[in-house]
Structure 1
Amino acid sequence: MNLYPLGLRLDGRRVLVVGGGAVATRRVPALLDAGADVLVVSPELTPALHGLVTAGRLGWRQRRFQPGDLDGAWLVQVAVDDPAAAAEVSAAAEPRRVFCVRADDRTEATAWTPAVTRHGPVTVAVLGGGDPQRAVRVRDAIDQRLADGTIPVAGTVGTAPATAGPGPTGRVVLVGAGPGDPELITVKGRRMLAEADVVVADRLVPGLLLDELPARVELVDAAKIPYGPAAAQEEINRILVDRARAGSVVVRLKGGDPYVFGRGGEELLACVEAGVPVSVVPGVSSSVAAPAAAGIPVTHRGVAHEFTVVSGHLPPGHQLSLVDWPALARLRGTLVVLMGLKNLPAIAETLLANGRGADTPAAVVQEATTGAQRALTSTLGAVAGEAAAAGLRPPAVVVVGDVVGTLDRTD
């Protein structure tokens, strides 16, 4: 069977979906993402589809299909497993010249849905000659090569930048690299790395991500910029702006998430002020990933319904600290402290002095999600001394609260 592949622009155009079960649940999100005006006809809906109806994102006629449902439709997707009901839709669609996709019998359809992968502006659709599994295998192989950069998509424009002046052709992307495991960078973050001409990397960025960069990519190690933290940040800002103005795609690769104690906001503002297009790719923050990797949920039903993340790089009482440690001591939820290992004795002492119990469970997780991960479980009264005795070192995340040990299982 010879097919003519075609990309459909469905924005604002009616697409009818007949059926409200699992197949429809899989098909509808892509139609909505394409901007289609989706109408579902079915006596019942899955909870996911019902939620979309409640949110006003699609229409629903709560009954069986009627031929008049096709009026105004550009495409119909039949998502029922009843051959007779599906054939009724096909028969009504044919004289109306509405292309019909059928989940029950591809040979009776007038259109097929391909296996699809999307990487920013690039969409790859694979038809397997009537074999869906073949199409998925080919799609997955292409998807992997797009993700790791062996099929380059450099020169594309990704998502719309936060600011788009007419002059520069380059741009800056702030990318969160995740907590340490190179596989925890997002798919979009990895794609941005594959498109980069320049990468400005923090010291906490997974080294394997940098090892994968092509030789053509200029790598700037932000940890080696001299002159102290404030001057170094100004130099980083200058590098981002200058390289982008020169026409390069610049990725600012930061450990964790760019905005969680990462000064990503300062870098974005510097780009905006300079008129350089800039966008942000969020990353997995160690504030939740490190506890999770050590078997600690930051919230748990019946134990903690809130968690607070603070920086511990300045000790309690420091004139520049913005953390209200006495107020944190009175909270009942989980406290997560980043960059606080050096000041852990003072932090624990302050929390104890302001009412947090000495027997409150506490933990320290070092180099979470990497091969060097170590975790220590203790109590607030003893954690500082035990962490020092164990030789734990930064980067480490401190967790204080009853969630520590919640998932422990005993025989």
Structure 2
Amino acid sequence: MKNITTSAGLTQAHAAWGQCTLVGAGPGDPELLTVKALRAIESATLLLVDDLVSDEVVALAKQGTRIIHVGKRGGCKSTPQRFIEKLILLAVREGERVVRLKGGDPFVFGRGGEEVENLRAAGVTVTVVNGITAGLAAVTSLGVPLTHREHAHGVVFVTGHAKPGDTGIDWHELATTAHRVRLTLVIYMGVTGVAHIEQGLLCGLPHSTPVAIIQNASQPGQRYVVCRLSELAQTVVRENLASPSVMVVGDVMQGLLALQTTQQPLRVVAG
């Protein structure tokens, strides 16, 4: 005779489950965490930590918390997404308080949307805690706004890394629109394809458009350089800039460009 699970039994089983929270760990500086994020980290029994989360943030977990690093970074060997989701589901069913700790904000190029959809489909209730995304922290650390009444009427956050089989961003079209309506472009994960990005943007933006490249935003090892768009790829190569870096394109960077030429050394900004 087949076992029959009633709705009441299913409800009781779910009641014994733990919980899952997707937490934005911000750009790295632990002082930029939200109070809600800090509380979630401190209450976790299991932390699943992305590569871009700083050690200082992970150190905020209480003693005895299990910590598993589930690295995901472009160009490197990554933990499969399906494995991460299965691990979360298993831990929740065992009554764990799981915190999925993601760099920046979970819903800004963090694949948080995919995780929430899959976990909810499996019956897991997921809470999301926002974090300061690197694009905001990077320009703020330089004392520059993303929007300005004289220079930029809006801002676009875009990824420079497309998933396999996807053609990615039409840089020509994006640049043309940005120039026409005066937008600041914030490009994540663009270092690997910087030559292609530069070529596409030059089809719609002036060669003299200022660009800031900020590596390790908000952290003690942060460094940045400002150059003209026509010099973007060669600057990244010459200064050995690597991931994680954010590129900010637009006239809001005119002031910094006036102060720094590409011949000057990279500045180091303490976190």
Task: Please give the range of the TM-score, normalised by the shorter of the 2 chains.
Answer: 0.7 to 0.9
Q: 1:392 Cα deviation (Å)? A: 1.3
Deviation at 1:216, TM superposition (A): 1.5
Distance change in 2, residues 1:325/1:234 (3 Å): same
Q: CA deviation at 1:224?
A: 8.2
Q: Which has the larger radius of gyration?
A: 1
Is 1:325 the counterpart of 2:171? The answer is: yes
Q: Is the 8 A contact 2:213 2:245 kept in 1?
A: yes
Matched AA of 2:31: E
Q: CA deviation at 1:272?
A: 0.5
Moved runs in structure 1, 4+ residues, more than 6 A?
407-410
- Show CA shifts across 1:35-88 (max 9, x none): xxxxxxxxxxxxxxxxxxxxxxxxxxxxxxxxxxxxxxxxxxxxxxxxxxxxxx
Report the 3-state secondary structure (helix = DSSP H, G, I; strand = E; otherwise coil) of the residue aligned with 2:80. helix
Residue 364 of structure 1: aligned partner? 213
Q: Does the CA-based 8 Å contact 1:362-1:379 persist in structure 2?
A: yes
1:173, 1:281 within 8 Å by CA — same for their partners in 2? yes
Match of 1:346 in 2: 196
1:243 deviation in Å? 0.4
1:384 corresponds to which of 233, 237, 259: 233
Q: CA deviation at 1:213?
A: 2.2
Work out the CA distance in 2 between the residues paired with 1:269 and 1:189: 21
d(CA) in 1 for partners of 2:258 and 2:239? 24
C-alpha deviation, 1:295, in angstroms: 2.5
Alpha-carbon distance, 1:408 to partner? 7.8
String of CA shifts for 1:337-385, please: whole Å, max 9, x gaps: 0000111111001111x22111011110010101101010000001210
The 8 Å contact of residues 295 and 407 in structure 1, kept in 2 or not, is answered as no
Q: Is the 8 A contact 1:168 1:276 kept in 2?
A: no
Shift of 1:182: 1.3
Amino acid at match of 2:242: R
Aligned to 2:262: none
1:173 paired with 2:21, answer yes
What amino acid is aligned across from residue 190 of structure 2 in structure 1? G
Contact 1:294–1:365 at 8 Å: present in 2 too? no
CA distance in 1, matches of 2:94, 2:236: 48
Separation in 1 of the partners of 2:222 and 2:135? 15
The amino acid across from 1:387 in the alignment is: V
Looking at structure 1, the residues matched to 225 and 197 of structure 2 have their Cα atoms a distance apart, in angstroms, of 17
Which residue, out of 152, 162, 168, partners 1:304?
152
1:294 matches 2:142: yes
Contact 1:173–1:192 under 8 Å retained in 2: yes
Partner residue, 1:54: none
Shift in alpha-carbon separation, 1:228–1:383, aligned structure 2, 3 A: closer
Identical positions, percent: 39
Letter in 2 for 1:355: G
Structure 2 residue runs without a partner (length 5+): 1-12, 260-271
Q: Structure 1 residue 321: deviation in Å?
A: 3.0
- Given candidates 21, 32, 49, the residue that maps to 1:184 is 32
**Matches of 2:219 and 2:34 in 1, distance apart?**
16
Alpha-carbon separation, structure 2, partners of 1:205 and 1:337 = 19
Hey, what's the Cα distance between the residues in 2 that align with 1:409 and 1:350? Answer: 24
Identify if the C-alpha distance between structure 1 residues 268 and 224 changes in structure 2 by more than 3 Å, giving closer, same or farther: closer
Q: Which runs of 5+ in 1 are unaligned?
A: 1-164
State the alpha-carbon separation in 2 of the partners of residues 406 and 308 from structure 1.
20
**2:242 aligned with 1:396:** no
Which has the bigger relative contact order, CA under 8 A and spacing at least 6? 2
CA distance in structure 2 between the partners assigned to 1:405 and 1:371 by the alignment: 25
Distance in structure 2 (CA, Å) of the matches to 1:407 and 1:367: 19
CA distance in 1, matches of 2:109, 2:67: 23
Offset at residue 167 of structure 1 (A): 3.4
Rounded to whole Å, the distance in 2 between the matches of 1:295 and 1:324 is 30
CA contact (8 A) 2:22 2:100 kept: yes
Q: State the SS of the aligned residue for 1:292.
A: helix
Amino acid at match of 1:347: I
AA in 1 matched with 2:173: A
Structure-1 residue corresponding to 2:117: 269
RMSD: 2.4
The answer to whether structure 1 residue 194 and structure 2 residue 47 are counterparts is: no
Which position in structure 1 is the counterpart of 2:184?
334
Q: Give the TM-score taking structure 2 as reference length.
A: 0.83
Residues 232-289 of structure 1 deviation map (CA, whole Å, 9 limit, x = unaligned):
1001001111101111110000000001110111111122111112110001001211
Instruction: Write out aligned runs for 1:212-251 (5 A).
Output: 212-223=60-71, 229=78, 232-251=80-99
Partner-residue secondary structure (3-state), 2:71: helix
CA shift, 1:409, in A, is 8.7
Q: Deviations over 1:202-235 (max 9, x none)?
A: 010011122232331111100189x965x71001
